[in-house]
Amino acid sequence: MNFTQQLINGLVLGHSYALIAIGWTVLLGVARLVNFGHGQMYMLGAFVTWFVMSRFGLPYLVAIPIAMAVGIGVGYLMQRTMLQLTIRQDLVSVMIVTLGFGHVLEGVAALFFGSTGQILDTPLSVRDIYIGDIWITWQDIAIIIVAILFFALLKYVVEKTRVGRLVRMVAEDPKLALLAGIDIRKIYLGVFAFEGAAVAIAAALIAPRTPILTSMGFDQVIITFVVVVLGGIGSITGSYVAGIALGLFAAFFGAYVSAAYSTAAMFVFLIVVLVVRPGGLASRPGAH
Amino acid sequence: MSAPAPATPVLEARDLSVVYAGNRALSVENFQLAEGELAGIVGANGAGKSTFANAMMGWSRGAPKVTGDVLLDGQSISALTTPERVRRGLLLIPENDLVFATMTVSENLAHAASARQAGGRRIYTTDEIYDLFPNLAERRNHLGGQLSGGERQMVGIARALRLAPRVLMLDEPSIGLAPLLVTVVLKTVRTLVDEGLTVLLVEQNVKAAIRTVDRLILLERGQILAEGPVDEMKADPRVADAYLGADT
Amino acid sequence: MRMMTPLSWLIGLGLMLIAPALLGGSGAVYSAFVLIAIFAVMSYGLDVIVSDLGEVSLAHPVFFAAGAYASAIGSSRWGFDPISTLLLAIAAAAIIAAGIGIVTLRMREFVFSLVTYAVTVVGMTLAANWAFLGGSDGITGIPVFNIFGYSALTDRELWPVAWLLLVAALYLVRCFRRSRLGQEAMTVHLNPRLATMSGIDPHRVRIQVFLFSAPITAAAGWLYSYQRAYISADVVDMYFLILMLTAVVLIGRRILLAPLIGVALILCQEKFLSFGGYVDRIILGSVLIVILSFMPRGLAGPAFDMLRWIKRRAKNINT
C-alpha cells in the first residue's frame, strides 16, 4: 500500500478519533464523570442523521442539528436519572448506570431503526478527490476541519470563558463550588448535554465512512478511552494529539500488520502506558 | 408573630438540630448574629462547630437529618439550597480546600456575584482585594496549588468578598497558620467588620478568638453552653477549660 | 457441608432439585432451570468482586467465555472428559485472572473498571477473529456431557449437574465470606487504611479474591458449552455483562441467595414474559439503571425496612 495514502488515512482517522473523544475529554477530564453509553450515543447520532435524511428527505445540514438535539436530550436524561450518584461522586455506579443506558439505547435503536445495516451517504461523502493516486473524500476533509475548529473552540471556552471556569470549578472541588454559589446540578446536567451534542456531531460526520449498525458503538468507547487516557486525562490539546497519533497508528498497523487486531493493539499499548504510569488517570483532575 | 424588633438579627437559627444515624451532632435552640457584629464560636475539637456552620449553609457531609429554621435578615432560608443561600449573601469560608488548586489566583477571584444577585450589597472589586491583600496581588498569576497556607486563607476570604457577602462565616481560619499570620488574617477580618460586614468566626484557637471577637459563644457536645461579651466570657472557667484543652 | 448446613437449607436445596418436576417437568421448564443455574453461577463470580471487594469488574464475561472456550476446545478437539475440561476451564480463567490482576493491581474504582471493560472488548475481538477459537464460525462438535456413565443429552438430564454446580458455587461463596480472605476483603473494601494498619496487604487480597472469583464464572461457562453444544464469539456478548451486573445489584449486596434470585427473576421474564429481544434488552438495562440510581440497597433494602416496620408495629400493638 501507498505510504502517503496511509498517512492521509491516518490523519483522517486520527481527527475522527479525536472528534469522537471530545465529549469524554470534557466529561472525564474536566468534570470527573464517565459515560459507558458513549458508543451507543454515537450509534444513535448516526442513525438519527440517516433517518432524518432518508425518511424525511431533509438536507444533511438540517439532519446534523437534529441529531445533536437528540443527543442533548439523551445526555440530559441520563444525567437527570443519576444526578444523586454524580453528586455523591459514586463513579463506579455512574459507570454501571451508563452501561445500562447503552444497553437500553441499543435496544431502542434496534426496535426503531431495525437491525439491518444501513449506508449513510451525505452530499460530501459521495464526492471523491484524487490527487495522483491518493484518494480522499470531501467528507474526510470536513471531518478534519470540524475537528480542528471544535477543539480550538472548546479550548477557548474551557480556558477563557465564564462557563468554562464554572465547569472547572465544579470539576476540581464540587463542595467549594457549592460554597461559591454555583449550582453544581446545572453544571453536571450541562456537561452531559454537551457530551450528547458532541458525540452526535461526531457521529453525523464520521459514520458515513462505514456502514452503520445498531450494534456498532462499543469500539468507540474503547478508542475514546485510549485517546483520553493517552492524552493525559482531560487535557484538550492532549486528546487532540493522542487522537491523531492513534489514528496514524491504526492506519499503519491496519495496513501493514492486521486490520482485525488494530483495536486490540491500541488497547495493549494503553495497558503498557497504564502500568508504567498507574496514577495517570487520576493525576490531574480539572486540568486542561 | 410580633412585628420585627428594630434590630432584626442578620443571621438567626431556631431549634437547629443535626442528627447523624440517630446520634445528635448539634442542637442549638437559639442563635443570633446582629448587624455589624463580630462573634466567635469556640469549643473543643468535635464540639460541633463545623457542623453548625455547615448546617447554616445547608450543606453536610453524608446525609444527616437537619431540622429547625435558619433566617437571614428575618427571612427563612431553610428551604434554600447552598448556592441559593450564597446568592442571598450567606458565605462560608471552609476549613480547608480554600482554593481551586488548578486555577491561578486571578482566576480564583474572577468568580463574582452579578450586580443583580448582589441586590445592593457590596461586591469587592479585584483591585480592592489586592489592596486588602498585597500578597495576592504579587501572586496573581500563580496557581492556587502553589500558595502557602496563609495565602490560601486570603484567597478564601477574597472569594467570599467577590460574592457580595451579607454575613461571612470563617471555619477555623487560624488552623495550620503561623501565629504571625493568624494575627494578619484576624486583623483583616476586623477591618472588614469595620467596613460594615457581619462576621461569625468559628475557632478552635480560643486565644486568637478572644483577641478578635466582640462576643463569644461556647459550644460543647453540639450545644451552646454559654455566650456573652468577650470580656465577661474570658473569665468564665468553662472557657478557660476549652482554652487549655485546645491551646494550639 | 451437610453437617454445617441447617436443615432448612437442605430442604430448600432438595426442593430446588425437584422443582422443575413439580412445575410440570416440561422441556422449557428444565431449560429455564438449567440456564438460571448456569447464569447464577456466572454471577456469583462477579458478586464476590462487587459485594465483598467493592470493585466492579467488567472482565467477567471474559472468564465466562474462557471457561466455555476451554471446555469446547478440550472436549471437541482433544477428546477431554467433563472433569478434565472443568479443570482446563478453571486453569484458563485463573491464568487470565492473574494477568488482569497483576496489570490492574494499583488501579482502583473506575480506572479498574475501565481497564477490565477494555479487556472484555479485546476478548470479543479475539473471539471473533482468532482462528484457534474458531473465528466467527465458532466451535462445533462439542460431545454430549458424559461422566461416570451418566449421559446428559437433554436439559432434563443436565439439570442435576447444573444443580450440583450451583450448590457448589453457593457453598464456596458462603465459605469465602466466613474465611479469613473474605474478612480481609471486606476490611479492604470498607476501610483501606485500617486494613493496611492491621497488616493486610490490599494488593495480595485483591489478587486472591480475583483468583477465587474467576474460576467460579468460568465453571458456569464450562457447563454452558455442554448445554449449547456450540460456542462462538457471542458468549462474550455485552448481554452477559449486563445480566451479571443486574443480577448482582437487583436484590442486594452480600446476601447469599441474591444473585440466584436476581438471575431467576430476569430469566423468568425473558423466557415466560418476553416482549421480544429488543424490548427485553430495554427492560434489563432499565432495571439496572433504576436499581442503582434510586435503590442502591437493591430490592431487599425496602423489603427489610418494611419487615422491620411491621415487626415494630406488631410489638407496639402487643404492648
Grid cell at residue B49: 462547630
Residues in A touching B101 (Cβ below 8 Å): 172, 286
Please name each of the domains of chain B with its CATH number. Answer: 11-245 (3.40.50.300)
Residue that has been written with the C-alpha cell 436484590 in this structure: C251
Supply angle C-alpha C289, C294, C297, rounded to 5.
Answer: 100
- Chain A CB within 8 Å of residue B49 CB: no
3-state SS record for chain C: CCCCCCHHHHHHHHHHHHHHHHCCCCHHHHHHHHHHHHHHHHHHHHHHHHHHHCCCCCCHHHHHHHHHHHHHHHHHCCCCCHHHHHHHHHHHHHHHHHHHHHHCCCCCHHHHHHHHHHHHHHHHHHHHHCHHHCHHHCECCCCCEEECCEEECCHHHHHHHHHHHHHHHHHHHHHHHHCHHHHHHHHHHHCHHHHHHCCCCHHHHHHHHHHHHHHHHHHHHHHHHHHHCCECHHHHCHHHHHHHHHHHHHHCCCCCCHHHHHHHHHHHHHHHCCCCHHHHHHHHHHHHHHHHHHCCCCCHHHHHHHHHHHHHHHHHHHC
pLDDT of residue C288: 86
- Can you read off the three cell numbers belonging to residue C3? 453437617
Q: Which domains does chain A have, with CATH numbers?
A: 3-282 (1.10.3470)
Chain B residues lying within 8 Å of A187, measured CB to CB:
none
Rounded CA separation A145/A142 (Å): 5
Cα C236–Cα C241–Cα C242 angle in degrees, nearest 5: 135
Report the pLDDT value the prediction gives residue A235, as an integer from 0 to 100.
Answer: 82
User: What b/e readout covers C110-120, taking b as 16+ CB neighbours within 10 angstroms?
Assistant: bbbbbbbbbbb
- Residue C40 vs residues C69, C238, C252, C270: alpha-carbon distances, Å: 19, 16, 14, 15
Give the SS3 label for residue A125. coil
Q: What percent of chain C has pLDDT over 90?
A: 21
pLDDT at B242: 65
Task: Give the cell for residue A226.
Answer: 485510549
pLDDT for the residue numbered A186: 93
Contact A183 B83 (CB under 8 A): yes
Residue of B nearest to A84 (CA): B63
Distance CA A245, CA A260 (A): 19
Whether A273 and A229 have beta carbons less than 8 Å apart is answered as yes
Cβ-Cβ contacts under 8 Å, B57 against chain A: 179
Contact between C128 and C135 (Cβ < 8 Å): yes
Residue A147 contacts residue A239 (beta carbons within 8 Å): no
CB contacts of C114 in chain A (<8 Å) are: 34, 95, 225, 281
Q: Is the pLDDT of residue C39 over 90?
A: yes
pLDDT of residue A76: 96
In Å, how far is B220's CA from the nearest CA of chain A? 26
- Taking CB atoms and an 8 Å cutoff, what residues of chain A touch B86? 178-181
Burial class (CB in 10 A: 0-12, 13-18, 19+), C246: buried
Between CA B135 and CA B133 the distance in angstroms is: 5
Chain C residues with CB under 8 Å of A260 CB are: 125, 128-129
> Using CA atoms, how far apart are residues C104 and C111, in angstroms rounded to an integer?
9
For residue A88 the three cell numbers come to 455523591
Residues 6+ apart with CB under 8 A from C296: A93
**Do A100 and C55 count as a contact with CB atoms less than 8 A apart?**
no
pLDDT value, residue C3:
46
Decide if C103 touches A, using CB distance below 8 A: yes
Sheet strands side by side (includes B215-220): B90-93, B167-171, B198-203, B38-42, B215-220, B223-229
C303/A contact by beta carbon, under 8 A: no
Question: Would you state the pLDDT for residue B112?
Answer: 87
- Taking the model in full, what pTM does it have? 0.86
pLDDT band at B85 (very low <50, low <70, confident <90, very high): very high
What are A203-231's pLDDT values in tens digits?
999 988 888 888 887 777 778 888 888 88
What mean pLDDT comes out for the span C212-227? 92
Task: State the number of CA atoms in the 13 A half-sphere of A95 facing the CB.
Answer: 22
Per-residue pLDDT, B127 = 92
pLDDT along chain A (288 residues), means of 10: 84 93 84 86 94 90 94 95 87 87 92 85 80 83 93 92 91 89 92 95 90 80 82 81 90 83 77 64 42
Chain C, nearest residue to A78 by Cα: C289
CB pairs under 8 A between A and C: 119
Condensed to tens digits (0 to 9), the pLDDT of residues B210-236 reads: 888 889 888 888 888 888 888 888 778
Count the neighbouring beta carbons within 10 Å of the beta carbon of residue B62.
7
Q: Give the 3-state secondary structure of residue A57.
A: coil
Taking CA–CA distances from A160, the nearest residue in chain B reads B107
Which of B50, B100, B109, B116 to probe by mutation at the A interface, max A CB count within 10 Å? B100
Give me the pLDDT at residue A282, please. 44
Pairing of strands B23-33, B167-171: unpaired
What does residue C116 show for φ and ψ, rounded to 5 degrees?
Answer: -65, -35
Higher pLDDT, A281 or C242: C242
Among the listed ranges C90-99, C108-117, C181-190, which one has the minimum average pLDDT value?
Answer: C108-117
What confidence score (pLDDT) does residue A285 get? 40
pLDDT in tens, C101-150: 888 777 766 678 878 888 888 888 888 888 787 777 778 878 877 788 78
What is the rounded end-to-end Cα distance, in angstroms, of chain A? 38
Chain C CA closest to residue A34: C110
Residue C13, pLDDT > 90, answer: no
Distance CA C33, CA C31 (A): 5
Which own/partner contact pairs does A159-168 have at CB distance under 8 Å and 24+ positions apart?
A159/A288, A162/B110, A165/B103, A165/B107, A165/B110, A165/B111, A166/B111, A167/A26, A167/A30, A167/A31, A167/A191, A168/A30, A168/A286, A168/A288, A168/B100, A168/B102, A168/B103
Residue C165 confidence (pLDDT) above 60 = yes
Cβ-based contacts of B159 with chain A (< 8 Å): 180
Contact B39, B200 (CB under 8 A): yes
Return the pLDDT at B244: 59
The pLDDT value given to residue A1: 55
Q: What is the pLDDT of residue B8?
A: 84
pLDDT of residue B228: 84
Question: Would you say A184 and A55 are in contact if contact means Cβ atoms under 8 Å apart?
Answer: no
User: What is d(CA A13, CA A143) in angstroms, rounded to the nearest whole number?
Assistant: 9
Q: How far apart are CA A217 and CA B142, in angstroms?
A: 43
Helix (H, G, I), strand (E, B) or coil at B48: coil
The confidence score (pLDDT) of residue A284 equals: 44
User: In sequence order, what are the beta bridge partners of B229?
Assistant: B215
Q: Do the Cβ atoms of C250 and C291 come closer than 8 Å?
A: yes
β-pairing, B75-76 vs B65-72, is antiparallel
Q: Is B1's pLDDT higher than 50? A: no
pLDDT at position B6, please?
56
Give, to the nearest 10 degrees, the angle between helix A91-113 and helix C109-129: 40
pLDDT tier at B248, thresholds 50, 70, 90: very low
Cα of A278 to nearest chain C Cα, Å: 7
The verdict on C258 touching A (C-beta cutoff 8 Å) is no
Q: Rg for chain C (alpha carbons), in Å?
A: 20
Residue type present at position A173: D
- Kind of pairing, strands B23-33 and B11-20? antiparallel
Q: A217 — phi, psi (to 5°)?
A: 100, -35
Kindly list the residues from chain B whose CB atom is less than 8 angstroms away from the CB atom of residue A288: 102
Q: Indicate the pLDDT class of residue C5, thresholds 50, 70 and 90.
A: low
Chains touching C (at least 3 CB pairs under 8 A) are: A
pLDDT value of residue C205: 87
Mean pLDDT of B191-197: 90
Lowest mean pLDDT among A208-217, B126-135, B196-205, C29-38: A208-217
Exposed/middle/buried for C27, CB within 10 Å: 0-12, 13-18, 19+? exposed
Question: Are residues A169 and B103, on separate chains, in Cβ contact within 8 Å?
Answer: yes
Nearest neighbour of C293 by CB, restricted to A85, A107, A111: A85
C-beta atoms of A281 and C111 within 8 A: yes
pLDDT at C55: 83
**B234 HSE (CA, 13 A, CB side):** 12
The dihedrals phi and psi of A2, each to the nearest 5 degrees, come to -70, 130
Question: Are residues C55 and C108 in contact, defined by beta-carbon separation less than 8 angstroms?
Answer: yes
pLDDT at A65 (0 to 100): 95
Domains by residue range for chain C, with CATH: 7-318 (1.10.3470)
User: What mean pLDDT do residues C259-274 have?
Assistant: 85
Residue B3 has pLDDT above 60, yes or no: no
Cell of C192: 483501606
